[in-house]
Structure 1
Amino acid sequence: MNFQRNDLIGFLKGALNVDVSDVEDDTLLFSTGVIDSFSMIELITYIESTTGPSIPPGDITLENFDSIGRILSYVNSRAA
């Protein structure tokens, strides 16, 4: 499955109540406090339920999950 930007933005806006009006693909989400650790857990759970395979704990890093661009890159590289 190809995980889309619109899917992720919709989840951030709808489920996590994030104001996405200023969120770009390179906006740091966790490092800047846009989302917190509880939201990160919800985000990981959403991604796993949407894309299929579980995400190994060692892959849950800021390098992979701190921006929309990083998340999309990570998730879609796993699907390839």
Structure 2
Amino acid sequence: MNEKIIAFIKNEITTEPLLEIDSEDNLLENGIVDSMGMMRLILFLEKQFKKRVPTEDMTLENFKTVEKIALYFSA
């Protein structure tokens, strides 16, 4: 799951596709994903994993890193 998320970020969101992204990197603080990019990522993940993300779940705790995103969608 981590690889799919990182691939989407590299191919669809970041302007630097050669950027190395670790599953523990803080996506927002490190400037890898901005707020609009995060919304695109969430929409992609909802379609990919057929799980709707309620507004109250759209928190840094759930979406700060690729690792946290994978944990959220695997629960």
Normalising by structure 1, we get a TM-score of 0.83
Matched residue, 1:58:
56
Identity %: 27
* CA spacing shift, 1:20–1:63, aligned 2, 3 Å: farther
Distance 2:22 2:2 in 1: 10
> Does the CA contact (< 8 Å) of 2:61 and 2:68 recur in 1?
yes
Question: Structure 1: 5+ residue runs without aligned partners?
Answer: none
SS in 2 for 1:53: coil
Q: Residues 14-25 of structure 1 correspond to what in structure 2 (within 5 A)?
A: 14-17=11-14, 18-19=16-17, 21-25=19-23
Task: Give runs of aligned pairs for residues 1-80 of structure 1, distance below 5 A.
Answer: 4-17=1-14, 18-19=16-17, 21-77=19-75
Aligned residues: 74
- Which 4+ runs in 1 deviate beyond 2 A? 17-22
Q: Residue 74 of structure 1: CA displacement?
A: 0.7
Larger RCO: 1 or 2 (CA < 8 Å, sep 6+): 1
Asked if the contact 2:51/2:73 (under 8 Å) is kept, the reply is: no
SS of residue in 2 equivalent to 1:22: coil
* CA–CA distance in structure 1, aligned partners of residues 25 and 55 of structure 2: 23
Contact 1:5–1:68 at 8 Å: present in 2 too?
yes
